[in-house]
Structure 1
Amino acid sequence: MAEDHSAEPSLLPKGHEAIAPTPYRVLARKYRPANFDDLIGQEAMVTTLSNAFDLGRIHQAYILTGVRGVGKTTTARILARAFNYELPARDGKPAINAPTIHMPELGVHCQAIIDSRHVDVIEMDAASHTGIDDVREIIDNARYRPVLARTKVYIIDEVHMLSKQAFNGLLKTLEEPPDHVKFIFATTEIEKVPVTVRSRCQRFDLRRIEADRLVAHLSGICVKEEIAAEPEALASIARAAEGSVRDALSLLDQAIAHAKGSLRVEVKAEDLRQMLGLADRGRLIELFADVMRGDIAAALAAMKALYESGADPQRLLGELAEFTHIVTRLKLVPETAKDPALSEVERVRGAEFAQSLSLPVLTRAWQLLLKGLNEIKDSPRPLAAADMILVRLAYAADLPTPDEALRRLGNLPQATTAASSPSPARDSAPAGSSASLVSRGTGQAVRAAPAPQPERTEPGLRLARFEDVVAQAAAARDIQLKMALERDVRLVRFEEGAIEFALAPGASPQLAQTLMRRLQEWTGRRWMVAISSEAGTPSLKEQAEAAAAASLHGVRADPLVRAVMDVFPGAEIVAVREAEPAENATAAEDIAYIDSAPPEDDL
């Protein structure tokens, strides 16, 4: 027999027996946009979709991409509502039974779509439904008309995780779906979606939300929730969220739970810094000042103090890099100071640093900090790694930029410069040789500020032969001009100050002007360079090729060489070199062979 418990006393307070506790809804769900008017930061997409619905040009498939928390799934549900919006006539207002994005109130199907429980709006997570069988089920069900709504909508989240076979199986239906079916895809990695799928969809890139818009949004929610929040705390949340509304609301939820206060919850910047492991902005800026000043002892002490107060070393370096970016923007775009996401100390001190620090110093600090962030991630001792990064940054802060270093070198006395950089080539090479030209050119470049020009030489350089001109081009490291002079110049007449030559077939017609300009740079005086209609002598390259051919022909005619070639049939002479100064050198030792062994001594 069943026991009767009706007479047992209730354990709940009197008057509360039938009241169940209301489950808490997190802020990210409570303040999820229900229509396009509530969607912030996506004006371009909203305008495009509004015009498309007003004109009746509604596409069959949409793909939404962007970082996490910017509203992809929310936009998909709003679109599903717009496809199926239906409002019966009442209070003299006409009924609405057509696709529209103007939804002043909840329609017949709206609440069920918002709660993800409508039978004709199917939401599928591709992370857990990746195979062809899941897509085949979609294809089979798409043939049937919707049960309650006007349009059957398939929302596939994280669509990039579908398999290759699943994508291929979806292509035909996606290109020619039934009139009552719409597809909405959402993904954070659009590049992993096949181009064949992307080409069948209208693509919308949802942007990150700007920090000032996010601060204003969080402030409005705090007013609705009757939460007091310091502006600096909201700015810290906006920076930590990195443009994600969902991340910002989750952090605000956490900050409210962490906040203190008996009568009214108040979110303070100090509590938020402790919760997130952030550094006090004032102390962080002082650390930045110590590093930029090169005071490494003060910088290391400040880093240790911030670490002991709960700041994470990796976050500290990230915030230093962020403040470097703020200072750079203030230097280049002073209007950045009006950004509401910046605190007052960031505006004031950032403007001071923007005036005192040069752009090369800021860019160098940015590069060192970015490299340091990668190093600290892999370090077993984050604090020690952060200290070493600060040391590197402090010692690099006061280093001169390349142009400043050249200017300092240019201001040195000439005798000091010559004594501090002796050139062995200048002392040992004969005058007029290529080594001597390079040495003189380098010395002139060091003495001439600000730009180094190693190819220029002292005025008064004498070029007595055309071969000297070619040697000077090689000494100046103008390889392109050297090759052109050897290959394309057929000399007609040469004297110091004037050159006349004919061009070989295929030569550049600008060669004469280039050579005239370079000769003036090298010698310090004007040269007359002209192109002649006469044939001229063969070019240096042609002369070298002819000499090599004649030498090869003479070697082939040598009786000893003919005897060697008879012993090694198929051997080929590919090069001839001069005999080395040895007493017992033979002609056979001066010949290079391919595919043959050296001749025996008795040959």
Structure 2
Amino acid sequence: MNNNSKVLALKYRPQIFDDLIGQEVVAETIINSIKADKVPNAYLFTGIRGIGKTTTARIVAKALNCSNGIEKMCIDNLCENCQSIANSSHIDVLEMDAASKTGVDDVRDLIEFSRYGPTSAKYKIFIIDEVHMLSKQAFNALLKTLEEPPSYLKFIFATTEIKKIPITVVSRCQRFDLSRIKSSELLDFIKKIKDKENGKVTDDALKLIVKISEGSVRDALSLLDRALLSLDNDKELDLNFAQKIFGYFDKSQLIDLFELILRGEEEKTIKIYRKIYDQGVEPKIFLNDFLELLYYFKNINSLTLESTNFSLNDEEFNKIKNISNQIQPDVLILFWQFSIKSLEELDIVSNQNLSIEMFLIRLMHLSSVKQVKQIDTRPTEENSTSKIEIKTETKIIDQIKNISQEEKKNPEIQTEVKAEIKTQINSFDELIATCSSKRELKLKFELEKNVNLVKFEKNRIEISFNDSLDKDFVKDLSTKLFEWTKERWIITLSKSKGDLSIREKKENEKKILIEKAKQTEIYKNFMENFPDAELVDVKSIIKEDKNND
């Protein structure tokens, strides 16, 4: 095949260790082991896609079998062995795709083939790509040969799923974890490829390619190949056109949308989102990008432009930095939690686009009360009771600061606080009724079944309880009491038995009614005719006589 007709990922595939980028430590270790004649029985390369696992395996095969040796390894004028390995045609270097040959019979053929020494090279080398796809039986068949192979036999494994390989296999290999390529290194690399190809691509477009590739060289070259083919020779690929090609929208739109959310401008917010949606951005991708933006707003002061993996340009970086200083961290954390929850809800909504619009509207109307809880547990003197005091401090979060006011450096921040109605609770029965009206059914259940009232006073409740009481009951009740009455309550746990619980009272009343009913003539006559019957419940019916006189 003509070298010019190859895709960039194959055309510029590294041929020697010096061509590798981002894997200097791995390359140096392998070179030193070969020079010291301490070559392991098997190499295991692991990492994400497109960072050079199979490429490194071929370079290792060349280094082991080069006719000139590791010190004078072929660079330009390849020897016969290096040329054959580069073309995947060497008789002693066998490449196998474990994804298509997963069975034990394939491994047995491999082992049978390994019984014969190399024909023209120093080592016979088996390169197995995606080795985690081998079956359990295939791995077991490989174990003995892997541990004690002939001196001329070497294995090189490559995988993206290291956890799927049995530990017995991993322990017999020299493992190398290939890292993601740093953004700056990858940017410099594709710049050089662009220049060699005489491509016209702006730096911002190249940075977008680096961001999308997520540290994968192959992905970056594939995207660059696509970008260079999408334009005529006399045009330059800029960021806007690159975003259209790769399906990414301008981050500045998302920053503008976030700013409008803070201002509470609903109509403009929805208009910008619909514009983003019309560009083909899926709701889940939008939410993930929104989460990424929230992360930048929260941590922008501890980040650099490079550490954002080129997700932002200089202007966007500075804009986020300015806005973030006007937003309280509590608000960003609240937005983050709400966005995560909305991301989970997308799977149960048929029209995800409408769900995102409602999510943005809810963000604008979102308000929060930050509660700081302090629990003080200490024994009281009377009745040897244990006192649990929960102090709750409320602080209204200035959720959305008016950005225009901040820009004018107005020190006064106006926060609108709605008047709240306090609930009066003067008895234990009123407390249960309030739980019912507020739909706090769990608290109502605990109060009726597992709590015995010892004393009820203003802002103070003394109770005893049974073993079934929920461990968070006191904390939950104290929080709700403060929320309802806007006053702090003290809940004391007493060793005194106290009154019967409401459930016990009802059961006792039921037993008394049943005993009274058994004394009636109706019950006795009924049991004579139905001796196997059992009285389980009695209901009293009160009839009111109306006099029309």
Give me the TM-score of the superposition, normalised by structure 1: 0.63
Alignment of 1:427-576 (within 5 A): 433-434=453-454, 436=456, 439-440=459-460, 469-471=494-496
Contact 1:222 1:228 in 2 (8 A): yes
Between stretches 311-320 and 179-188, larger displacement belongs to 311-320
Aligned to 1:358: 328
Q: Which amino acid aligns with 2:40?
A: H
Tell me the SS of whatever aligns to 2:94.
Answer: strand
Q: Does 1:325 align with 2:295?
A: yes
Does residue 33 (structure 1) correspond to residue 52 (structure 2)? The answer is no
Q: Tell me the equivalent position of 1:82.
A: 63
Match of 2:196 in 1: 224
Partner residue in 2 for 1:42 = 23
Over 3 Å counting, the alpha-carbon distance change for 1:321 and 1:310 in structure 2 is same
Do the aligned residues in 2 keep the contact of 1:50 with 1:101 (CA within 8 Å)? no
> In the alignment, which residue of structure 2 is the partner of 1:251?
223
Query: Is 2:423 aligned against 1:420?
Result: yes
In 1, are the aligned partners of 2:122 and 2:152 still within 8 Å (CA)?
Answer: yes
Flag the 1:255–1:100 CA change in 2: closer, same or farther, 3 A.
same
CA contact (8 A) 2:460 2:490 kept: no
> Is contact 2:368-2:396 (8 Å) kept?
no
For residue 320 of structure 1, report the CA deviation from its aligned partner.
Answer: 2.0
Select 1:279's aligned residue among 249, 252, 264: 249
Secondary structure (helix, strand or coil) at the match of 1:118 reads: coil
**Unaligned segments of structure 1, at least 5 residues:** 1-19, 88-95, 411-415, 458-467, 475-577, 587-596
* 1:39 positional shift: 1.7
Provide closer, same or farther for how the CA distance between residues 266 and 435 of structure 1 changes in structure 2, counting only shifts above 3 A: farther
Structure 1 residues 394 and 158: CA distance shift in structure 2, 3 A: farther
**8 Å contact from structure 2 (residues 66, 73) kept in 1:** no
Pair 1:598–1:100, CA change in 2 (3 A): farther
Show the counterpart of 2:170: 198
**Paired residue for 1:500?**
none
Change (3 A) 1:37 1:326: farther
Offset at 1:455? Answer: 5.5
Structure 2: which amino acid aligns with 1:440?
A: R
- Aligned position for 2:132: 160
Q: Distance in 2 between the 1:159 and 1:377 partners? A: 34
- How far did residue 104 of structure 1 move? 5.1
Aligned to 1:138: 110
Cα separation, partners in 2 of 1:437 and 1:350, compared to 1, 3 Å? same
Alignment partner of 1:175 is 2:147:
yes
> Retained in 1: the 8 A contact 2:98–2:134?
yes
Distance in 2 (alpha carbons) for counterparts of 1:339 and 1:444: 41
Of residues 5, 23, 45, the one that matches 1:64 is: 45
- How many angstroms does 1:242 deviate by? 1.8
Give the distance between the partners of 1:176 and 1:473, measured in 2 at CA: 77
CA distance in 2, matches of 1:579, 1:440: 33
Instruction: Using the TM superposition, give the Cα deviation of residue 131 of structure 1 relative to its aligned residue in structure 2, in angstroms.
Output: 1.3
Q: What is the DSSP-based 3-state SS (H/G/I as helix, E as strand, rest coil) of the residue aligned with 1:436?
A: strand
Deviation at 1:280, TM superposition (A): 1.6
Counterpart Cα distance in 1 of 2:424 and 2:40:
73
Q: Which residue of 1 aligns with 2:394?
A: 407
Contact 1:65 1:187 in 2 (8 A): yes
Q: Give the aligned residue type for 2:269.
A: A
- 8 Å CA contact 2:425, 2:431 repeated in 1: no
Decide which moves more: 307-316 or 112-121: 307-316
**Which of 231, 241, 261 pairs up with 1:291?**
261
* 1:339-380 Cα distance to aligned partner (Å, 9 max, x none): 572311221122123322333333343344445445556765
Is contact 1:64-1:204 (8 Å) kept? yes
Q: CA deviation at 1:21?
A: 7.5
Maintained 8 Å contact 2:298/2:329: yes
State the distance in 2 between where 1:424 and 1:246 align: 72
CA contact (8 A) 2:300 2:320 kept: yes
The alignment partner of 1:122 has SS state of strand
Deviations 1:380-438 (A, max 9, x none): 54433332333344444x4344449942489xxxxx99943525318799xx9535269
Q: Which residue identity does 1:225 align to in structure 2?
A: E
CA distance in structure 2 between the partners assigned to 1:417 and 1:393 by the alignment: 22
Partner AA of 1:147 in structure 2: T
1:313 CA drift (Å):
3.8
The separation in 2 between residues aligned to 1:270 and 1:409, in whole angstroms, is: 42
1:49/1:359 CA distance change after superposition, 3 Å: farther
Amino acid corresponding to residue 427 of structure 2 in structure 1 = P
Is the Cα–Cα contact under 8 Å of residues 98 and 133 in structure 2 kept in the other structure? yes
State the secondary structure of the residue aligned to 1:130.
coil
Contact kept, 8 Å, 1:314 with 1:377, in 2: the verdict is no
User: How far, CA to CA, are the matches of 1:319 and 1:444 in structure 2?
Assistant: 36
CA shift, 1:233, in A, is: 1.0
> SS at 2:5's partner residue?
coil
Q: Distance in 1 between matches of 2:359 and 2:86?
A: 50
User: Larger relative CO (CA 8 A, sep 6+): 1 or 2?
Assistant: 2
Kindly provide the amino acid, as one letter, of the partner of residue 26 in structure 1. V
Q: State the SS of the aligned residue for 2:45.
A: strand
In structure 2, the partner of 1:304 is 274
Q: Tell me if the contact between 1:314 and 1:386 (Cα under 8 Å) persists in the aligned partners.
A: no
Distance 1:312 1:122 in 2: 44
User: Cα distance 1:307–1:470, how it changes in 2: closer, same or farther (>3 A)?
Assistant: same
With 217-226 and 306-315 compared, the bigger mean Cα shift is at 306-315
Aligned partner of 1:242 in structure 2 is 214
Change (3 A) 1:254 1:356: same
State the partner residue of 1:115: 87
Corresponding residue SS for 2:154: strand
Greater CA drift, 103-112 or 65-74: 103-112
Residue 503 of structure 1 aligns with which residue? none
Per-residue CA distance 1:519-542 (angstroms, 9 max, x = gap) = xxxxxxxxxxxxxxxxxxxxxxxx
2:142 corresponds to which letter in structure 1? L
1:562 corresponds to: none
> Measured at CA, do residues 113 and 360 of structure 1 come closer, stay the same or move farther in structure 2, by a change above 3 Å?
farther
Q: Structure 1 CA distance, aligned partners of 2:497 and 2:29?
A: 65
User: What is the match of residue 93 of structure 1?
Assistant: none
Name 2:238's counterpart in structure 1.
268
For 1:185, the equivalent position in structure 2 comes to: 157
Hey, what's the Cα distance between the residues in 1 that align with 2:431 and 2:343?
51
Cα gap change, 1:235 to 1:473, in 2 (>3 Å): farther
What secondary structure, in the 3-state scheme, does the structure 1 residue paired with 2:18 have?
coil
Q: Against the structure 1 CA distance between its residues 199 and 395, is the aligned structure 2 distance closer, same or farther, given a 3 Å change threshold?
A: farther
Aligned residue-pair number: 439
Structure 2 portions without partners, runs of 5+: 374-391, 398-418, 433-451, 462-476, 500-509, 520-530, 536-549
The amino acid of 2:5's aligned partner reads: Y
Within 2, Cα distance between the matches of 1:139 and 1:219? 45
